[in-house]
């Protein structure tokens, strides 16, 4: 019986079949880029693999990467795998404390340091004596540099075979509820999920559409790692472009002209708000309703976003408002919502043109089994399912059912055709003084659908009624010092609150809208690296003020 084909086997196949095909395009500053072919990518990866093997680390040793997305992240991961080791990627925005925790918990033997914006604050988290290597685009360090290390090293020869059960990577969850956990993924299961994603992308784009992708969501997160990096290792025809900075993002997007584009709800919302800053929503809506003119306007809007070539667009990581999906589809963008977790290699559910509905996350992907518990919790058995949590067998016992399904912690509803709708997180549900559970996510999405609002958190544990705390849209925040703007915001939010409450059960109704005094961000610790709200931290930050809020009896509060 032939050995199963794993990620590295596909990579070696592409290296041999088309070594001169451009695989990675890396911006290097000032509008300049460097292209790396499959042959060049593998030549550098093979050299680094030789170097890593020469260090004599134990088989399966953990090698860490702390870097924003870049071509050398791909090369380093391939080198780690070829050397017989396991990758540990750390979010590039993490604090020194979290960097230290992940490096120590994983027992990392070496760290690659790459593109970073806050290295000065992070470097104290690197344990003294840990060997480090700097990527070409890394900030200034005293570490040996990538090309200097490779200079006198010969490329590793041949096709390295990893065992199917070898651990390919540890993925540390972003920790929205506590200490990050190391999720172990084997080559066998990572390959199965990546193959599923590669087939999905090719099927949705069609056989003749070139696959162009922009890599900018953190590669330390499973969504980008699976759908962009690992699926491209399987397919072999994809051209991966990288983003340089936030300031150059539009230029990066227009350079890539992606045919498949993945993002998260917060960024889809920010793109929409950027459009609205140039053209008021009512005017755009009116123009889109005019035959011929509407098509021209829609095409111009998508071209301005750099998405006019996108044949498949996807949103994941968190629920996205149904109204936002409808808005993009009206522009002609095939925006699909999906659902996956770190624990199933992001391989769970995805929409298709036939199995889709705004507000739903699609049907199970090929090979995925799903059912709901008596409490409505979604239970998943995926080809990409985790092997377990690193050094935490106690958690394994908690999260798996007796017959091997993973307890997602999400609640949902399923249609007869298998299409799944998420209705909230089991642990995020809370009771007000009215004694019934409130699921915050669906209500938050109703608020987030309004162009005035960037983000929302619904809370109110034990209070007479729930409240909604909102971050105003980026374009409106600098103007709220103007009394006229402030009055308009208050009126629109009061009207919005009335409209939303009309569609909620009595125990779900929102008593007031509280306007956050500052945006929630990764930097201030109120968002995870994947831009989910850190609910517990926000609630803790405002805990002392809540009693005064309820005493005011107002519908819209500035705090």
The number of C-alpha atoms within 13 Å of 9 and in the hemisphere containing its C-beta is: 15
State how beta strands 110-113 and 239-242 pair.
unpaired
Q: Number of H helices and number of E strands within the chain?
A: 19, 26
The mean-pLDDT minimum among 123-137, 248-262, 313-327 falls in: 313-327
Query: Which CATH number characterizes residue 480's domain?
Result: 3.30.300.30
CA distances from 306 to 244, 251, 255, 263, 268 (A): 15, 8, 8, 13, 13
Residue 300 and residue 411 share a domain: yes
Residue 376 and residue 481 share a domain: no
Last residue in a domain, options 186, 205, 224: 205
Within a domain: 253:
no
Give alpha helix (H) positions in 18-95. 38-54, 71-82
Residue 326 and residue 409 share a domain: yes
Within a domain: 250:
no
- Centre a 10 Å sphere on the Cβ of residue 477 and count the other Cβ atoms it contains: 15
Residues 6+ away with beta carbon under 8 Å from 550: 463, 464, 467, 511, 512
Query: Which CATH number characterizes residue 86's domain?
Result: 3.40.50.980
Residue 67 and residue 29 share a domain: yes
Residues 6+ away with beta carbon under 8 Å from 394: none
- How many domains, in total, are found in the chain? 3
**Placement of tokens 């929102």 in the chain:** 510
Residue 33 and residue 146 share a domain: yes
Q: Edge-to-edge strands of the sheet including 420-425?
A: 369-372, 377-381, 406-414, 420-425
Within a domain: 228:
no
Mean pLDDT of the region 27-46: 96
Residue 283 and residue 404 share a domain: yes
Residue 137 and residue 176 share a domain: yes
Q: At what angle do helices 187-205 and 7-17 cross, to 10 degrees?
A: 50
Mean pLDDT of the chain: 91
**Is the pLDDT reported for residue 417 higher than 90?**
no
Burial class (CB in 10 A: 0-12, 13-18, 19+), 407: middle
Dig out the tokens for 254 from the structure: 């227009």
The mean-pLDDT minimum among 412-421, 426-435, 478-487 falls in: 426-435
**Residue 358 and residue 323 in contact, taking contact as beta carbons nearer than 8 Å:** yes
What pLDDT, in 10s, does the model give residues 320-344? 777 888 899 889 998 888 899 999 9
Mean pLDDT of the region 38-61: 97
Residue 535 and residue 392 share a domain: no
Within a domain: 226:
no
Considering the chain, what percentage of its residues have pLDDT values greater than 70? 99
Burial class (CB in 10 A: 0-12, 13-18, 19+), 481: exposed
pLDDT, residue 1, reads 64
Within a domain: 394:
yes
Phi and psi angles of residue 530, each rounded to the nearest 5 degrees, phi first:
-100, 15
Within a domain: 520:
yes
What pLDDT, in 10s, does the model give residues 404-413? 999 998 888 9
**Is the pLDDT reported for residue 499 higher than 60?**
yes
- Domain range holding 25? 8-205
**Is the pLDDT reported for residue 440 higher than 90?**
no
- Output helix, strand, coil percentages for the chain, rounded to the nearest 5: 40, 20, 40
Within a domain: 232:
no
Short-list 323, 318, 332, 390, CA closest to 357: 323
Last residue in a domain, options 425, 456, 471: 425
**Is the pLDDT reported for residue 246 higher than 80?**
yes
Within a domain: 245:
no
pLDDT, residue 143, reads 97
Residue 197 and residue 264 share a domain: no
Residue 265 and residue 198 share a domain: no
Residue 420 and residue 444 share a domain: no
Residue 342 and residue 275 share a domain: yes
Last residue in a domain, options 164, 179, 205: 205
Choose between 430 and 537: higher pLDDT.
537
Query: Which CATH number characterizes residue 419's domain?
Result: 3.40.50.12780
State how beta strands 406-414 and 212-215 pair.
unpaired
**Is the pLDDT reported for residue 177 higher than 70?**
no
**Is the pLDDT reported for residue 353 higher than 70?**
yes
């Amino acid at each position: 019986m032939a050995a199963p084909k794993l990620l590295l086997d596909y990579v070696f196949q592409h290296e041999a079949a088309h070594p001169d095909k451009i695989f990675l395009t890396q911006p290097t500053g000032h509008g300049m880029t460097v292209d790396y072919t499959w042959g060049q990518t593998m030549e550098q990866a093979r050299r680094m693999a030789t170097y890593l093997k020469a260090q004599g680390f134990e088989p399966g040793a953990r090698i860490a990467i702390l870097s924003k997305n870049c071509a050398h992240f791909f090369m380093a991961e391939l080198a780690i795998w070829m050397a017989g080791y396991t990758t540990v990627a750390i979010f590039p925005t993490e604090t020194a404390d979290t960097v230290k925790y992940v490096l120590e918990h994983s027992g990392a033997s070496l760290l690659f340091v790459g593109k970073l914006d806050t290295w000065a604050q992070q470097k104290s988290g690197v344990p003294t004596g840990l060997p480090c290597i700097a990527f070409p685009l890394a900030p200034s360090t005293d570490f040996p540099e990538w090309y200097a290390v490779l200079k006198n090293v010969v490329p590793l020869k041949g096709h390295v075979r990893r065992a199917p059960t070898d651990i390919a990577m540890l993925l540390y969850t972003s920790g929205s509820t506590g200490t990050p956990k190391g999720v172990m993924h084997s080559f066998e299961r990572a390959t199965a999920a990546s193959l599923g994603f590669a087939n999905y992308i090719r099927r949705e784009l069609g056989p003749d559409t070139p696959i162009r992708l922009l890599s900018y969501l953190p590669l330390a997160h499973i969504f980008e790692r699976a759908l962009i990096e690992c699926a491209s290792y399987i397919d072999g025809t994809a051209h991966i472009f990288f983003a340089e900075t936030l300031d150059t993002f539009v230029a990066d997007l227009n350079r890539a002209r992606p045919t498949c584009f993945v993002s998260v709800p917060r960024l889809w919302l920010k793109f929409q708000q950027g459009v609205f800053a140039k053209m008021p929503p009512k005017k755009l809506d009116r123009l889109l309703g005019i035959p011929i003119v509407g098509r021209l306007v829609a095409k111009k809007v998508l071209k301005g976003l750099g998405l006019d070539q996108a044949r498949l667009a996807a949103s994941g990581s968190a629920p996205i408002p149904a109204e936002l999906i409808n808005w993009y589809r009206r522009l002609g963008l095939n925006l699909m919502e999906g659902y996956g977790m770190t624990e199933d290699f992001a391989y769970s559910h995805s929409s298709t043109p036939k199995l889709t509905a705004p507000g739903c996350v699609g049907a199970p992907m090929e090979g995925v089994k799903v059912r709901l518990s008596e409490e409505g919790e979604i239970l998943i058995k995926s080809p990409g399912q985790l092997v377990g949590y690193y050094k935490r067998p106690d958690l394994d016992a908690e999260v798996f059912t007796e017959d091997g399904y993973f307890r997602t912690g999400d609640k949902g509803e399923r249609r007869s055709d298998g299409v799944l709708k998420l209705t909230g997180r089991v642990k995020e549900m809370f009771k007000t003084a009215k004694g019934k559970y409130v699921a915050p996510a669906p209500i938050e999405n109703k608020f987030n659908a309004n162009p005035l609002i960037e983000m929302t958190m619904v809370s109110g544990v034990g209070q007479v009624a729930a409240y909604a705390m909102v971050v105003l849209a980026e374009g409106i925040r600098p103007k709220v010092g103007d009394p006229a703007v402030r009055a308009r915001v208050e009126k629109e939010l009061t009207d919005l609150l009335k409209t939303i409450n009309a569609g909620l059960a009595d125990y779900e109704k929102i008593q007031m809208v509280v306007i956050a005094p500052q945006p929630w961000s990764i930097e201030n610790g109120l968002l995870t690296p994947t831009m989910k709200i850190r609910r517990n931290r926000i609630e803790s930050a405002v805990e002392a003020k809540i009693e005064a809020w309820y005493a005011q009896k107002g519908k819209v509060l500035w705090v």
